[in-house]
Amino acid sequence: MTEIEIIINKVAQDKVDYKDGVKIILQHPQFDFIQTIQSLETFILNAIPNKSSYESEAYRKAISTIPLKPTVTPIVILNKNSTKIAFGKLKDLPKYEEEKIITSLVWIFKVIDSERRSTDCRNGCGHFWHNID
């Protein structure tokens, strides 16, 4: 994992504060928007149990609780489109949307990964990223 991917997972696991974590990611010398969104997409798709639609109640709930106005473009895209289509559209947005996109996706991953850790992974799991310090 890259340093940014480690930070994303630490935020998901409450080892780094969410707001601080988003700031650290955006200001990181290795931050690259497309690479970071790609990492977040992989993490999010991995954490959704339904691999045919990549939909879940937790995923939709996560979108509805993103700490931004629900009218911002990335959230509108996430609400209106299926998971994979939404990610494709997010990658095409202009640079000034980057902060909102990363804010949204880190939140979604935090919510659904927390759900996964408290259910599927509760009795221990082989996910190495669930065992970082």
In sequence order, what are the residues at sequence separation of 6 or more whose Cβ sits closer than 8 angstroms to the Cβ of residue 26? 98, 99, 102
Residues 6+ apart with CB under 8 A from 129: 1, 5, 9
Which listed residue (76, 85, 125, 132) binds Zn ion by CB under 5 A? Answer: 125
Nearer to Zn ion, 89 or 130 (CB): 130
Among 121, 124, 128, 132, indicate the residue that binds Zn ion (CB under 5 A): 121
From the list 26-34, 58-66, 99-107, 117-125, the region that binds Zn ion by CB under 5 A is 117-125
What is the distance in angstroms between the CA of the first residue and the CA of the last residue of the chain? 13
Q: Is 85 in the site for Zn ion (CB under 5 A)?
A: no
**CA dihedral angle for residue 52, residue 53, residue 54, residue 60, rounded to 10 degrees:** -150
Asked if 28 is part of the footprint of Zn ion (rule: CB under 5 A), the reply reads: no
Q: Among residues 100 and 116, whose Cβ is nearest to Zn ion?
A: 116
Give the residues lining the site for Zn ion (CB under 5 A): 121, 125, 127, 130
